[in-house]
Amino acid sequence: MKLELRGITKRFPGVVANDNVNLALNTGEVLSLIGENGAGKSTLMSVLYGMYKPDEGQIVIDGTDLVFASPADAIGAGIGMVHQHFMLVPVFTVAENVVLGVEPTGALGKLNIDEARRMVREISDKYNLDLDPDAVIEDLPVGVQQRVEIVKVLLRDAKVVVFDEPTAVLTPSEIIEFFEIVKTLVSAGRGVVFITHKLKEALNIADRIAVLRRGKVVGEVDPKTATESQIAEMMVGRPVQLTVDKNSAKTGDVVLKVTDLTVLDADGRTHVENVSFEVCAGEIVGIAGVQGNGQTELVEALTGLRKATRGVIDLDGKDLTHSNPRERHQMGMAHIPEDRQRQGLVGGLSVAENLVLTRYHDDQFSHGVYVDWEAANAVAETLITEYDIRTPNKETGVGTLSGGNQQKVIVARELSRDLRLTIAAQPTRGVDVGSIEYIHSRIVKERDAGTAVLIVSTELEEVMALSDRLLVMYRGKVVAELDPKKVTPMEVGLYMAGSRPDSAVSA
C-alpha cells in the first residue's frame, strides 16, 4: 500500500495550519514527521484520520482519491492512529476499550465479552505486549495504556499506523521496547508514521524524516546522513542551541524542606508516599518520572492546592503544611502550573488581568475593596515588554495567544517579584523552541539570583539539563537522588521504571 497526501491545506480562523503539504509513505517503512510545537503536525494527522476536512488537497491510497468524512472511513482505508492523549475510556476494561466499535456480538447486540478477551490475548501474545484484558484502564500505568492503544490499532488491521508523540510518556527503556514494537510492525509489512519533536528518536528509528515548519514541509532528510543541529535548524528556521547554558550552582541555606509527605486523594488512593527532600537557595532540583507517578499531586500539595494527608512542609523554617495557596504565595513561593490552560490562566480574561491573577490583592494593586486597574495596567505594560510577550495589546484575551506566549504570561507573573522558592511543573510543555530557550534562561537566572527552584518535568532531557540535583519519582515515592552530570539518561530511566541499577547507590 502506498499512502500519499497531496497538497493538503487546512485553515483555521487566523491561521494556516497546513499549507500545501505533500507527503508519501510506503508500507514497510517508518516516516518520521518532525517539527516544533504548533508546526501543524497534529492537524495534518487529524486530516489524515478523517477528523478534519482539508480545505484543499487529496488523500490518495494506491492511486485512488479518497475522502474521509470521519475516522470510520480512515479506519476502513487501513489507517490507525495512536493519539498523544490516549483515547481510552478510563472506567472500561482493556477488552472493552479494544473492541469498542467492532464489538463481537450475539443476538440483540449482546456483547460477547469472552470473545473480546480472546481477541486481546491473541494480539497481545503475538506482539508480546503482555496485557490483561480485564484490567481497568484507569488503574494502568501510561506505558501499558499505550500498548492498549496499539492493540486497538492492530485489531482493526491497520496498514498504516500513526503515532503522535508516543514517547512523551515513556521511560528510556520503554522507548527502546516501543521501538522494538515499531520494528515488528514494519517487518510485518505495515507502514508507520512517527510524529515527534525529539530529534534523537527520529534519527534512531526513521527511514525518512520530513520536517514541518509553520504548516509547510520544509524538507525531507535522510537519517543516515543528517545531524541533529541540521534538523533543528530546519525545524526552527535559525541555528538552535541544544543545551542549557548555566554555571555551577552556588548553594545557600535550605529553603524548602519536605518531611515524610503522604498524599491521598478523596477516594483513598495513595499518590505520594513518605516523600522527604530539601531544596536550597540557589540550586535547581529536578524531579524526573513518568507521568502519573505522583508528581502532579506532590506539586499540588507543595503549593497548597491539595491537602497533605501526613507529613510536614517547611519554607524557610516555617511550617506551612496547612497554609492555603495565597499564604504560600505571599511567603515567596511561585508556581508555574503544569497545565496552563486549565490552571495557570483564565482564557476569557485579558492579558493584563491574567498578569495580576495571583497578585491583584497586593497593596500595590488594591485599595480597600477596589482593584487599582491603572496600576495593574501599568505593570502589565512593563511585563509585556520585559518578557517579550507577543500580544496585540494588554486587553487581548489571553486565550487567543500562542502556547509560548501564554506560558510567558505565566512566567512573567510568577517570576517578577521577590521569591524564595519557584516551583515549575512542565514549564515548557507544548511551547515553541524560542520560548523554551527563553523560559529556561529565566529559570536559571532566577536560580542565580538565589531562589530555590524545583522543576518537575516528564521530559527527561529537559530536567537533566536544568537541574543541579535530580530526584526520581516512581509510584509516589522518591526512589533516587542523583547528580545529573554523573548519570546517563538510561540509568535515570531505569529508576523511573522502578528498577535499581546495581552500579548506582540509591538514596
CA–CA–CA angle 435, 441, 444 (5° rounding): 140
Pick between residue 171 and residue 422 the one whose CB is nearest to other proteins.
422
Pick between residue 162 and residue 497 the one whose CB is nearest to other proteins.
162
Pick between residue 99 and residue 290 the one whose CB is nearest to other proteins.
99
In the complex, the smallest distance separating the C-beta of residue 72 from other proteins, rounded to whole angstroms, is: 3
Cα Rg of the chain (Å, integer): 24
In angstroms, the CA 387 to CA 441 distance is 12
| Grid cell at residue 382 | 512593563
Pick between residue 361 and residue 500 the one whose CB is nearest to other proteins.
361
In the complex, the smallest distance separating the C-beta of residue 332 from other proteins, rounded to whole angstroms, is: 13
Which DSSP symbol is given to 212?
E
Written in H, E and C, the secondary structure of 51-66 is: CCCCCEEEEEECCEEE
Helix axis angle, 403-415 relative to 433-448, nearest 10°?
10
In the complex, the smallest distance separating the C-beta of residue 343 from other proteins, rounded to whole angstroms, is: 4
Give the long-range contacts of residues 122-129, CB within 8 A, separation 24 or more. Answer: 123/151, 123/154, 123/155, 124/151, 127/151, 127/154, 127/181, 127/184, 129/181
In the complex, the smallest distance separating the C-beta of residue 102 from other proteins, rounded to whole angstroms, is: 8
In the complex, the smallest distance separating the C-beta of residue 346 from other proteins, rounded to whole angstroms, is: 4
End-to-end C-alpha distance for the chain, whole angstroms: 52
In the complex, the smallest distance separating the C-beta of residue 223 from other proteins, rounded to whole angstroms, is: 29
In angstroms, the CA 7 to CA 260 distance is 58
Pick between residue 92 and residue 179 the one whose CB is nearest to other proteins.
92
Instruction: Give one DSSP letter per residue of 3-18, joined into a string.
Output: EEEEEEEEEETTEEEE
| Grid cell at residue 34 | 518532525
In the complex, the smallest distance separating the C-beta of residue 396 from other proteins, rounded to whole angstroms, is: 8
Pick between residue 215 and residue 282 the one whose CB is nearest to other proteins.
215
Pick between residue 179 and residue 360 the one whose CB is nearest to other proteins.
360
Residues at the site binding other proteins, with contacts judged by CB under 8 A: 46, 49, 51-52, 70-72, 75-76, 81, 83, 87-92, 96-97, 99-103, 105, 108-111, 152, 262, 264-268, 270, 303-305, 307, 309-310, 324-326, 329, 335, 337, 342-349, 353, 357-358, 360-361, 366, 369-371, 392-393, 395
Neighbouring C-beta atoms of residue 435, cutoff 10 Å: 24
Instruction: Give one DSSP letter per residue of 339-365, joined into a string.
Output: -IIIII--TTSBHHHHHTTTTTTSTTT
In the complex, the smallest distance separating the C-beta of residue 401 from other proteins, rounded to whole angstroms, is: 15
